[in-house]
Amino acid sequence: MSGYASLEGKVALVTGGSRGIGAAISRELGSAGARVAVNYRSGKEPAEEIASEIGGIALAANVGDPAEAKELIERVESELGDIDVLVNNAGITRDTLIARMSDQEWEEVIETNLRGTFNTCRAVARKMLKRRSGAIVNLTSVVGIHGNPGQANYAASKAGIIGLTKALARELGSRGVRANAVAPGYISTELTDVLSEEIRGAILANTPMGRLGSPEDVAAAVRFLCSDEAAFITGDVLLVDGGLGM
């Protein structure tokens, strides 16, 4: 648990921490020595399994709701202590072309992905500022940088997270609080497992490393940005995409 990029003695909250990339991040932060709160909206069983595995806790909350996000932060503080590390991973997709996109499909994605990130960042900011320490890592996407057809809502939410992260870095930096973003490319999860061979082939053809990423690839980058080894890094967007976003 000690050594490079150690989080020994730190308290971490991972939103959307029970599946896919979020589960890998929860495990990685736990293996680094952090006491991890695994947040989930649905899927109580996998969240509790991961929490048990890493000696953390599992807490249900819809971070897109300001009141639930605030209560989540308070519960983590009550059960584990002040939050040193916040990782915003909770996100959804509602893909369709913009001409067919409903108000609900737009609003649901913006509420969960962007508003949820804002809600938790706002809820932890005051105490982090007071303590003059803290690390926030927000999960964005290469789609938020380059766009993608059929994902106007998702791309807008992820681009918004980049702007939010940079604003936070400027607001909080003088008090020793860092805010960074990680932008995964195409990662091998349940979402990419359903891609056709044609689409998968096109993605790999445009990825210099010639493979999909793994959730663990993303988790390792998140761990680094949460650690003291990244003490002079803030406002950055780290692409974990095998070169796809160049």
User: Which residue in 155, 160, 153, 106 sits closest to 138, CA to CA?
Assistant: 160
Residues belonging to the active site:
154
The length of the chain in residues reads 246
Lookup result for tokens 């807490």: 59
Round to whole Å and give the CA distance between 39 and 59: 5
Q: What's the half-sphere exposure (Cβ side, CA atoms, 13 Å) at 147?
A: 5
SS3 state of residue 103: helix
Angle at 221 (CA atoms; ends 215, 224), nearest 5 degrees: 140
Pick from 177, 185, 184: nearest CA to 235: 177
